[in-house]
């Protein structure tokens, strides 16, 4: 009888322990990379390929963002000379578009094709105790560097689901840290535990067809092989939206995504 009770308690504990998985809202995609075809890695053909361009609109009143409390770090407060800073979780541009939206080709590319990794290094800067830019995109295997322009210390702590997690300190004046991620994952949150309001997101994609909306809310993805694609936009608060778009050679298609506040 006692064994039955112990068994029941253990089973209940295990069942409960399985609940409440802590997956971040910023969706972690696990699209497996198809086996590579032989030959050199492909490069986007911007002269003859298709182009998908568009904007990410925001409908409704822009949400009021909460003020950041930087009082725990005097160096951060001094950077703004007493001017209150707001969270940049949602930034609605003056033209009614949304900033910091990651846009990428989720599916539709020729299976198995490997794409050349850009030689350029993407920089994520810690400036004014904020990540600049807030959202970046890199290809799998592409180097990106994290710099510290602040007169204070930061720790850099990406929290991927599919790639290895790491956490490194970066003192003021220290050289930039250069890293790569090897598996596709959209998006990887990055945080600083010293300054808990600091947040950044990195979209890691197995191909070069992605973009991030800026101050005008637009995006352009060039050099796509002719075909039909699922384009996904992803915002850290409002999540993903998808549209299917077909482009031919040298053709430009315009699409508009819209988030509601």
Partner 1 sequence: MHLNNVGSLWLRRYAVLVACCTFALLIAGGLVTSNDAALSVPDWPLSWGHLVPTLEGGIRYEFAHRAAAMLVALLTVGLALAIQVGQPLPHGRGSDGAATLQSEPRPGYPPGVGSVSKLAWAAVVVVLAQAALGGAAVRFLTPAWATIAHASLGQLFFALIVAICVALYAGVAGAHVPSLVCAAALFAQTILGAGVRYGVVAPAAHIVGALLATILVMWAGLSILMRNMDNPKLRRPAMLLLSIAFSQVFLGIGALMARVAYAAAPQPMPLMVLFTVAHVAVGSLALGAAVALAMLARPAAFPLHGGMVTA
Q: Which two tokens stand for residue 224?
A: 């796509």
Per CB under 8 A, the list member of 107, 120, 149, 169 interacting with partner 1 is 169
229 and 109 Cβ atoms separated by less than 8 Å:
yes
152 and 173 Cβ atoms separated by less than 8 Å:
no
Q: Is 131 in the site for partner 1 (CB under 8 A)?
A: no
Residues 180 to 239 in contact with partner 1, rule: CB under 8 A: 191-197, 199
| Closer residue to partner 1 in complex, CB, 167/252 | 167
Minimum CB separation from partner 1 for residue 107, in Å?
30
Q: Is 75 in the site for partner 1 (CB under 8 A)?
A: yes
206 and 223 Cβ atoms separated by less than 8 Å:
no
Q: Is 48 in the site for partner 1 (CB under 8 A)?
A: no
| Closer residue to partner 1 in complex, CB, 194/255 | 194
Residues 18 to 37 in contact with partner 1, rule: CB under 8 A: 19-22
Q: Is 149 in the site for partner 1 (CB under 8 A)?
A: no
Distance CA 85, CA 68 (A): 6
185 and 160 Cβ atoms separated by less than 8 Å:
yes
**Which residues are CB-contacts of 77 (< 8 A; sequence separation ≥ 6)?**
70, 71
Q: Is 148 in the site for partner 1 (CB under 8 A)?
A: no
Distance CA 178, CA 183 (A): 17
Q: Is 244 in the site for partner 1 (CB under 8 A)?
A: no
Minimum CB separation from partner 1 for residue 29, in Å?
20
148 and 154 Cβ atoms separated by less than 8 Å:
yes
Q: Is 74 in the site for partner 1 (CB under 8 A)?
A: yes
Per CB under 8 A, the list member of 171, 173, 175, 260 interacting with partner 1 is 171
Stated length of the chain:
261
Distance CA 59, CA 124 (A): 29
* Binding interface with partner 1 (CB under 8 A): 16-17, 19-22, 65-66, 68-69, 72-76, 87, 89, 152-153, 155, 157, 165-169, 171, 191-197, 199
């Amino acid at each position: 009888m006692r064994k039955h009770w112990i068994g029941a308690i253990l089973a209940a504990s295990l069942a409960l322990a399985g609940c409440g998985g802590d997956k971040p809202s910023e969706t972690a995609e696990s699209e497996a990379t198809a086996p590579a075809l032989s030959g050199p890695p492909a490069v986007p053909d911007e002269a003859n390929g298709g182009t998908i361009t568009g904007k990410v609109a925001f409908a409704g009143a822009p949400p009021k963002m909460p003020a950041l409390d930087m009082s725990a770090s005097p160096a951060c407060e001094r950077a703004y000379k007493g001017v209150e800073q707001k969270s940049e979780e949602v930034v609605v541009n003056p033209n009614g578009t949304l900033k910091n939206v990651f846009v990428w080709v989720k599916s539709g590319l020729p299976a198995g094709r490997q794409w050349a990794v850009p030689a350029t290094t993407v920089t994520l800067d810690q400036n004014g105790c904020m990540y600049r830019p807030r959202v970046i995109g890199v290809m799998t295997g592409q180097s990106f560097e994290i710099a510290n322009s602040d007169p204070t210390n930061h720790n850099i702590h990406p929290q991927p689901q599919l790639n290895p997690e790491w956490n490194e300190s970066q003192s003021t004046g220290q050289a930039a840290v250069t890293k790569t991620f090897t598996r596709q994952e959209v998006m990887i949150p990055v945080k600083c535990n010293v300054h808990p309001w600091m947040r950044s997101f990195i979209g890691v994609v197995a191909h070069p067809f992605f973009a991030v909306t800026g101050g005008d809310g637009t995006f352009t993805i060039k050099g796509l092989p002719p075909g039909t694609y699922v384009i996904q936009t992803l915002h850290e608060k409002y999540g993903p939206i998808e549209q299917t778009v077909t482009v031919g050679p040298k053709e430009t298609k315009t699409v508009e995504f819209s988030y509601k506040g």
